[in-house]
Structure 1
Amino acid sequence: MCKATKLPVTTSLRPRRWLSIPRFSIKRRLSQFPRHALRFHSWQMLKPLAYAGLRPTSKAVYSRAPTRLLSRLWGLLNTVILPLWLRKPLLALYVWAFSVNMQEAEEEDLKQYRNLGELFRRQLKPSVRPIASHKVVSPADGRILHFGRVRNSQVEQVKGLTYSLESFFGPQDWRDADHNGVKVDDRALFQKQLGLHKGNRLYHCVIYLAPGDYHRFHSPTDWYIHHRRHFPGALMSVNPGIAHWITGLFCQNERVVLAGEWQYGFFSLTAVGATNVGSIRIYCDQELHTNCARHVKGRYHDYSYTEQCRPAGIFMGKGASLGEFNLGSTIVLIFEGPRHFNFTVAGGRKIRVGEALGSL
């Protein structure tokens, strides 16, 4: 006599979901790959050149790539209004790929963002970025690349590579005189042209914004902005890996230098463009237009806030909204301070808007 076979107690007969095909699950397939293999870097757009034998990983080819044109095209693509049914799946892919924290966004519903550009420039809830009481705070979400004193007018780009303040700022011919009212001749040291006070030192801090970071930047302290200088230039990636390749990368890329004064003397904030950054916008400056075809590399464009706005310049309170990028890039702070100024950050550390950079 045959014994009846009993079914396992854990077995349950559940109806299959309609059109459920788990073996073709995209999420399951992608989870089998290391996360770093799924990340997209700006230099990967040059891979097709390898088929033509141009070795896109070489410095010469990368530095001659049409990054300005590609960035303008990407900027136009970001302004295309997406149909409502496509917004959530497409934008959710970006949110997932770059680990964007949408819970911090003032608008969490992806359907309310008409295109990728609006998602890049999303505004945050005011409560998620409290402003520290320290004198200098972070102007952006990102990662600290370098910080410290500026020595001999040289600023560190990456370990072993530096660039000069003269190349980064350009000639200071817009300054009529130093703080003592005595004109500085062309042979004077560059730091004297900046009008540094006796006994003070010059400091720098570089913050790298990744594609998933919050893309607006804020005022790092209470200061007056006197002058804006726009350098049209290349739009090479500012990723630390690329920065090891290109000497003076920040001096070659398109950038907007805001210079002025704070309580202790000279203060500047520079927004450096990068690949796929369609524009750099300064909220208080409607005359600024970056990454335009009519601009010529190697020249710069000055704009005086003391002449066009008010004699004292434009006041920016600590934490106030200052501008925005269209994609990840870099903020460079170079400022004068007392000898006892100390940075409270560590290299390679993630930082957010409003967190302390240094104290007195």
Structure 2
Amino acid sequence: MKFRAILSKFLLQEDLNFLLTNRIPRRFLTRFMGWFSKLDNCVIRYLSISTWKFFSAVDLSDAAKTHFDSLHDAFIRSLKPGARTIALGPNILVSPCDGIIGAHGLIENTEVFQAKGFPYSLRDLLPNDSLSKEFASGSYVTIRITAGMYHRFHAPLDCHITKVTYISGDTWNVNPIALKRVEQLFCKNERAVIESSFIAPESQKQHRFLMVPVAAVLVASIRLHFIDVLLNLRYKGANVLNCDANYQKGEELGWFEHGSTIILICPPGFHLVDNITEGQPIRMGEPLMSVSG
């Protein structure tokens, strides 16, 4: 009976969480949050940042500055120099962001998982079938960035970025509760597909890999340094944005304006490091994959 009571309470909390974060006018509230978070008013700034700290595990001690103009300014904070250590080794792919490891592993043909028992196909996540076939039987890893975490993301390898495809969509919450309830959630949400290539120094072989930042409720704005537009719910431009940008491992690529998810998709030859487990916190710059050949 005690177990049933605990289980019932847990399920009730999950239902309430899902209701409050998903059964709401998600797009309207996301746009409102984008406006509200930028208000530069001392009272609003104090109350909103204090509320954010109360409900989220926020650590601003490694931020580059101690005073913020707005809640938005605190969300997109940069780091003090040296706040993160980038793993050495030209064949080591590092985490592009701070986050929590989610579903990961081998891509079975083109099938991956958002949570146990909830598969989705790369064909539904990516902009075209040829791209999904290119990464069939490779490896993937999902990294969830919570609301209180550092929201900027960085190059996981020395890489050349050639194209960004922006795909409009919904703003479902991407927390574990929603991932266990909403099928193909990542394929429904706003997202960008960043196409990059990496040259292995020993073999000089070129490998392509993908980074897929996925937006979520209260966050549907992605800023990339290498394109001159803000990708958000109001963006009506071309879906495909060609670019020609080179980045060294650890260099900053852009940021989310709240918390969200990045999915890394790599071809055969990329292998997850041994100590990666679901639910594990990871920091930008820590080893995530190794590249052979």
TM-score for the superposition, normalised by structure 1: 0.69
The 8 Å contact of residues 221 and 256 in structure 2, kept in 1 or not, is answered as yes
In the alignment, which residue of structure 1 is the partner of 2:39?
80
- Deviation of 1:260 (Å): 2.4
Q: Is the 8 A contact 2:190 2:220 kept in 1?
A: no
- Which residue does the alignment assign to 2:110? 153
- Of Structure 1 and Structure 2, which has the larger fraction of its residues in strand? 2
Counterpart contact for 1:43–1:237, Cα < 8 Å: no
Gaps of 5+ in 1: 1-36, 47-61, 176-189, 306-312
Alpha-carbon distance between aligned partners in 2 of 1:293 and 1:169, rounded to the nearest angstrom: 19
Determine if the alignment matches structure 1 residue 98 to structure 2 residue 29: no
Q: Which residue is equivalent to 2:143?
A: 207
The 8 Å contact of residues 238 and 274 in structure 1, kept in 2 or not, is answered as yes
Once structures 1 and 2 are overlaid, which stretch shifts more, 159-168 or 96-105? 96-105
The answer on whether the counterparts of 2:18 and 2:178 sit within 8 Å (CA) in structure 1 is: no
Instruction: Give the partner amino acid of 2:36.
Output: L
- Whether the 8 Å CA contact 1:202–1:335 is kept in 2: the answer is yes
User: Which protein has the larger Cα radius of gyration, Structure 1 or Structure 2?
Assistant: 1
Cα deviation for residue 343 of structure 1 reads 2.2
Task: Check whether the contact 1:148–1:204 (CA below 8 A) recurs between aligned residues.
Answer: yes
Query: Tell me, which stretches of 5 or more residues in structure 2 are unaligned?
Result: 1-12, 200-205
1:327 to 251, 258, 262: 258
Matched to 1:160, the amino acid is G
Question: Which digits, 9 at most, give the CA deviation of each residue in 1:115-173, with x for residues without a partner?
Answer: 11001001111211010114210111110002211111011110011111111112157
Query: Any idea what SS the aligned residue of 1:71 has?
Result: helix
Give the distance between the partners of 2:58 and 2:221, measured in 1 at CA: 21
Name the Cα RMSD after superposition.
Answer: 2.4
Contact 2:26–2:217 (CA under 8 A) maintained in structure 1:
yes
Which residue identity lines up with residue 302 of structure 1 in the other structure?
V
User: Hey, what's the Cα distance between the residues in 2 that align with 1:90 and 1:253?
Assistant: 26
**Helix, strand or coil for the counterpart of 1:74?**
helix
Provide the residue aligned with 1:303 in structure 2. Answer: 241
* 1:354 match: 285
Please, what TM-score do these two structures have when normalized by structure 2?
A: 0.84
1:13 corresponding residue in structure 2: none
Paired residue for 1:44? Answer: 20
What's the CA shift for 1:86? 5.5
Q: How many residue pairs were aligned?
A: 268
| Equivalent residue for 2:187, pick from 251, 276, 289 | 251
> Is the contact made by 1:74 and 1:278 (CA closer than 8 Å) also made in structure 2?
no
Pick closer, same or farther for the CA change 1:256–1:274 going to 2, 3 Å.
Answer: same
Q: 1:229 to 1:168 in 2, by over 3 A?
A: same
2 CA distance for matches of 1:145 and 1:248? Answer: 15
Name the residue aligned to 2:223: 281
CA deviations on 1:96-128 (whole Å, 9 max, x unpaired) are 4312112111112xxx21111001001111211
Q: Alignment partner of 2:61: what SS?
A: helix
1:14-33 map, 5 Å: none
